[in-house]
Amino acid sequence: MKAIKLAEPWKVSCVELEKPTPKPGEALIKVIAAGICGSDIGAFRGTNGLVSYPRVIGHELAGIVESIPADNKNGIKVGDRVVVDPYLYCGHCYPCSIGRTNCCTDLKVLGVHVDGGMAEYYCHPADMLIKIPDGMTWEQAAMAEPLTISLHGIHRGGLKAGEYCAIIGAGPIGLVAGMVAQAYGAHAILLDLVQERLDFAKSLGIEYVINSGTEDAVARVAEITGGEMAHQVMECSGANAAVRSTLDLVSNAGRITLTGWPKKETSLPTDVITKKEIDIRGARTSAGEFEEALDLIYTKKVDMMKILTKTVSMDEAPATIVDIEKNPGNYMKVVVRVGEE
């Protein structure tokens, strides 16, 4: 079978591997579509310190079940169209015991800690598959996973209708977070340094955009919110300066969720946190959000197809990964068509 594999940083190719055999408790999936994620590009560059090599990439997966234990918890059957929850957790540590499986102390992410599923076939725990609604396209299904990341950040901040949500970083996660915020009846304010990305955000219907390189972002957020500032700030860029700015953008008694991964430590004035009594929460991957993500896509409350740059074949995938690394501004989301029904 074909698979997309990193031999080491900067070396990606379409290789031939043996078709896998499911272990007890696993399903065998014929993968039809797989998204290329920013973390895949980081793995290609060698800048993702969590990745070991060689590594088959891919964790945004949709496909058809070829075999599955009959006693799986979601009632999935052979022939069902499914997406894969790619976050493997131990099930017995403290976070797992309270349902926070995304921050399991032994979390393993497909394509990072273990081989991923950008391959014609993949074996995965049978209880970690979610059925796709009838009529949903494979491209839509493959983009459910990135939507869960945005959803989780919004959920961690407890966003409510009518509130103002400032989102830093107009990449795929930030853009989708803006669409989610508005689907929830909140007001999205998207900040970025790149005007082209902000123009694209406006074309998606994002209510407010701010170029934080040319505008006074704090003054603009104050103007938009009538002086209250943002009730929730979601940081999606991972830039240290952006993390620091969240304290200035958030309202008194507001919430901050940190989704981006800074490369180094950020110095924060804790007196501001105390004065405003700010809740600061990490937001890592997702936990139990796939069903909602699929519903939002299916009902077009969040139209993920608007951020799909293109679909490529398996043979085109390595060159596409190279080009995304060289020209990131030309891409939002790319889906690899792995197989056919």
Q: Which pLDDT value is given to residue 48? A: 83
What's the confidence (pLDDT) of residue 341? Answer: 85
Task: Look at residue 58 in the predicted model and tell me its pLDDT.
Answer: 97
Q: What does pLDDT average to in each consecutive run of 10 residues of the chain (341 residues)?
A: 97 97 97 95 90 96 98 96 97 97 96 96 97 96 97 98 98 97 98 96 97 97 98 97 98 97 94 98 96 97 96 98 95 96 85
Distance of alpha carbon 259 from alpha carbon 45, whole angstroms: 21
Which amino acid would we find at residue 165?
C
36 burial (CB, 10 Å; 0-12 / 13-18 / 19+) is buried
> Nearest-5° angle of CA 214, CA 217, CA 219?
115
Per-residue pLDDT at 47: 87
Burial category of 127 from C-beta neighbours within 10 Å (exposed 0-12, middle 13-18, buried 19 and up): middle
Q: How does pLDDT run across 277-300, given as a tens digit for each residue?
A: 999 999 999 999 999 999 999 999
- Using CA atoms, how far apart are residues 167 and 234, in angstroms rounded to an integer? 5
* Tens digits of residue pLDDT in 63-96: 999 999 999 999 999 999 999 999 999 999 999 9
Burial label for 176, CB within 10 Å (0-12, 13-18, 19+), is: buried
**CB atoms inside a 10 Å sphere around CB 246:** 24
Mean pLDDT of the chain: 96
